[in-house]
Amino acid sequence: MFGIAVFAAGVVNTFWGNDPGFGIFLLLLSLVYFPPTGAILNGIAKQWVGFRVPRIAKIALGIFIVWATLGVGELFDKINLMMMDL
């Protein structure tokens, strides 16, 4: 569920507002929270580094995403812009 919410916030930030790069960054970060890509990323980390990504890292990343999206990214203002376009 969190991955879908971050993906949606990434789409809003990509197409409405003034920073499409931030939206694409959120889209890429949302892939960590989808089970297939999360398993692939854990496999790659296990090969390169020798251990899997701990859950606390995903939780910390989630807190960062929420802070960046709601605080810095001004998500609610961009949703209002999106609704005016529709």
Residue pLDDT, tens place only, 9-38: 888 888 876 778 888 998 888 888 888 887
Residue pLDDT, tens place only, 53-76: 788 988 898 898 888 887 766 777
> In the structure, what pLDDT confidence band is assigned to residue 77 with cuts at 50, 70 and 90?
confident
pLDDT for 32: 86
- Residue 3 C-beta-side C-alpha neighbours within 13 Å: 11
**Amino acid letter for position 55:** R
Note the helical H segments in the chain.
2-15, 20-30, 35-48, 55-67, 75-85
Name the token pair of 68.
């960046």
* Mean pLDDT, rounded, for 1-14: 86
Query: Residue 16 in contact with residue 10, Cβ under 8 Å?
Result: no
pLDDT for 73: 62
